[in-house]
Amino acid sequence: MTLLAIIIILFAGGIIAWLSERYLQKGGRWISLVSLLLAALLLVNYWSYLGTPQSVSGGPWWDSLQAAWIPRFGISFHLAVDGLSFLMLTLTIAMGIFGLVMTWNDINFRRGFFYFNFLWTLAGVVGVFTAIDLFLFFFFWEVMLIPMLFLIAVWGYEKRIYAAIKFFIFTQASSLLMLIAIVGLAYIHYRNSGQLTFNYNELLGAELTANAAYWLMLGFFIAFIVKLPALPFHTWLPDAHTQAPTAGSILLAAILLKTGAYGLLRFNLPLFPESSMAFAPVAMTIGAISVIYGAMLAFAQRDMKRLVAYSSVSHMGFVLLGLYALDTIAVQGAVMQMIAHGLSTAALFALVGALQHRLHTRDMQQLGGVWAILPKLSAVALFFAIASLGLPGLGNFVAEFTVLVGSFRSNHWITALAAIGLIGAALYALLMMQRVFFGKLRNQFESPSESGDTADLSLRESCALLSLALLLVVIGLRPQPIFNISEPTVTQAIAEIKAVAPDQNLLSSQSQRQEILISTGDKSP
C-alpha cells in the first residue's frame, strides 16, 4: 500500500497545486514540497528492509501490491519494490525535492500548472520504477512523458517547441516498438502456456525461440537506449536539456535518463538472457562509443547546458557498458553510476540555471572570471565539475572505476576504449571551469548595477547544493551500503544469464568469488 500511497500523493498533490493557483498565488510550491516530503516519509517505511539479508524476507520483493485491472488481458495493477527500485525511488524523490528547492523562485507564470506537471512527472517515474506488470510499466512510461513535454514546451527557452516535439517523438516512437515487444512476449507466452498474463515474474519463465527472443529484445533495447540515451538515438537530449527550464533539466538528467538504464537491468537482461548475451558485444561497443563521442561533443560546446547534456551522454555510456558487460561488478558499477550521475548532473544543471538567472547568459564565450563576482557559486561548481570528471573520493569515481574493472574481464579492448573517455571528461569539465569561472571578468558583468541580480548563492540554494555534495562524498568514501542494497537484484539478473551459458562456468565462478569479496567487505566494520 505504501507504493500506491506515494503515487497517489504525488498525483493528488499535482492536482491540488494546479487548482490552488487561483486562491494561493505561490501556494503551489508549498503544496509540492509537502507532497514530496510526505512521499519521502512513506519511503522511510522501507528502512527496516535495508539491514535484513535477502533470504529472510523471502523472495526478491520487499513489498508488493496486486489488484486486477484488465482481466481480459491478464493485466493487473501490480507494484513491487526491491533494492534496486528502492534506490531509484529514493533518487527520484530526493531529486524532486532538490529541483523544487533550487528553482523555488524561478517560475513566474502559470505556477499551478508548472507544479502540476512537475509532480505528475515524478509520479510517472515512481510508477515506472515500481511497476512489475509489463503493461502497467508501459502505462507509467508514457504517463511521465506528457507532463515533461509541457514542462519543456511552456517554461522552456527560445527553441522550446522544437525541442519538446523532438523529445516526445523520439521517446514515443521508440516506446511503440517496446509496446509491440511487450505484447509479442505476452502472446508467445500465451501460446505456449495457455495463460495470458503481463506479469513480469511469470514472463521471466517464458520459453522463446532464439529468433523471437532476439527481435523482442531489440524492441525493448531500442526504447531503453533512446531514453538512456546512447549513440544513434541521443540527438533529442541536447535540445531537450538545453531548452528545458532548470527544474525540467534536473528531472530529465537525474531521473528520466535513469528509467532507460533501469529498464535494461530490470527487463532486458532477465527476460532475454540468451539474446542479451549474444547482443552484449554490440551494446558494449555502443556504450564505449557513446562515452567517447559524448565527451568529444561536450568539449566542442559553447553553451554550458549543452556541454552538461553531452557529458550526460558520455556518462550514460558507462552505464550501458557496465550493464552489458554481464558481470556482477560491472553492473553494480552501472547502478552506482546511475546514482552518482544523477546527483552530480542535477547539481550542474542547477548551477547553470542559477548562473543564467543571474547573468542572463550561458554562452561560455560571453562568460569569464565569474569567480570574482560569485565566489560561492563558483566554488560549488568547481566541486561538481570535478566530481563529474571522476575525482577519486567522490561517487562518480567509484562508479566509473567499478564499471571499468568489471567490464575489463568481459572485453578488454572495448573497455580500454571507453577508458579514454575519462580523459575527455577531465578536458571538458576543466575547460568549462577555466572559461567560465577563471580568467578575466568580462566588462558587462563588472558593475553589478542590479545588485539583487548578481547576488551569490542564497542560504536555500547553498543548503540544497551542499547536501548533494555531501552525499557524493559519502558515496565516494563508503559505497558499500549502496552495493549491498542493489546486490540481490543484480546477482539475480546475472545468475539468469549465467544459467543459460554453461560454457562460461569459469567466468561465472570467478565473478561469484569477487562478489563474495565485495559483499563481505562491509561486514568487517
Q: Among residues 68 and 470, whose Cβ is nearest to other proteins?
A: 68
CA distances 12 to 52, 77, 127, 138, Å, are 33, 18, 14, 21
Instruction: Give the containing element (helix H, strand E) for 68.
Output: strand 63-70
Asked if 149 is part of the footprint of other proteins (rule: CB under 8 A), the reply reads yes
Asked if 218 is part of the footprint of other proteins (rule: CB under 8 A), the reply reads no
The one-letter code for the residue type at 294 is G
Q: Among residues 107 and 494, whose Cβ is nearest to other proteins?
A: 107
Under DSSP, the state recorded for 110 is: -
Residue 66 pairs with which residues in a beta bridge? 78
Question: Min. distance of Cβ 37 from other proteins in angstroms?
Answer: 26
Q: How many residues bind to other proteins according to rule CB under 8 A?
A: 32
Question: Min. distance of Cβ 143 from other proteins in angstroms?
Answer: 6
Burial class of 436 by CB neighbour count within 10 A (0 to 12, 13 to 18, 19+): buried
Asked if 184 is part of the footprint of other proteins (rule: CB under 8 A), the reply reads yes
- Give dist(CA 120, CA 134) in Å, integer: 20
Asked if 12 is part of the footprint of other proteins (rule: CB under 8 A), the reply reads no
- Give dist(CA 220, CA 214) in Å, integer: 10
Asked if 203 is part of the footprint of other proteins (rule: CB under 8 A), the reply reads no
Question: Min. distance of Cβ 432 from other proteins in angstroms?
Answer: 31
CA distances 264 to 220, 323, 490, Å, are 8, 8, 12
**Residue keyed to cell 493557483:** 21
Asked if 187 is part of the footprint of other proteins (rule: CB under 8 A), the reply reads yes
When binding is defined by CB under 8 A, the residue of 30, 49, 61, 69 that contacts other proteins is: 69
Per CB under 8 A, the segment of 36-44, 157-165, 374-382, 491-499 that binds other proteins is 157-165
Question: Min. distance of Cβ 6 from other proteins in angstroms?
Answer: 19
- Grid cell locating 321: 557498458
Q: Name the 3-class secondary structure at 485.
A: helix
Asked if 413 is part of the footprint of other proteins (rule: CB under 8 A), the reply reads no
Q: Read out DSSP for 366-409? A: T---GGGT-HHHHHHHHHHHHHHHT-TTSHHHHHHHHHHHHHHH
Per CB under 8 A, the segment of 183-191, 265-273, 277-285, 410-418 that binds other proteins is 183-191
Please work out, in degrees rounded to the nearest 5, the angle formed at the alpha carbon of residue 182 by the alpha carbons of 180 and 183.
65
Q: Among residues 166 and 498, whose Cβ is nearest to other proteins?
A: 166
Residue 427 pairs with which residues in a beta bridge? none
Asked if 72 is part of the footprint of other proteins (rule: CB under 8 A), the reply reads yes
Per CB under 8 A, the segment of 133-141, 229-237, 316-324, 407-415 that binds other proteins is 133-141
When binding is defined by CB under 8 A, the residue of 109, 211, 440, 525 that contacts other proteins is: 109
Asked if 164 is part of the footprint of other proteins (rule: CB under 8 A), the reply reads yes
Residue 70 pairs with which residues in a beta bridge? 75
Question: Min. distance of Cβ 465 from other proteins in angstroms?
Answer: 29
Burial class of 24 by CB neighbour count within 10 A (0 to 12, 13 to 18, 19+): middle
- Give dist(CA 134, CA 64) in Å, integer: 15
When binding is defined by CB under 8 A, the residue of 146, 277, 419, 466 that contacts other proteins is: 146
Asked if 499 is part of the footprint of other proteins (rule: CB under 8 A), the reply reads no
Q: Among residues 187 and 413, whose Cβ is nearest to other proteins?
A: 187
Asked if 4 is part of the footprint of other proteins (rule: CB under 8 A), the reply reads no
Per CB under 8 A, the segment of 144-152, 281-289, 291-299, 328-336 that binds other proteins is 144-152
Under the rule (CB under 8 A), what is the footprint of other proteins?
Answer: 69-73, 109-110, 135, 138-139, 142-143, 145-146, 149-150, 153-154, 161, 164-165, 168-169, 172-173, 176-177, 179-180, 183-184, 187
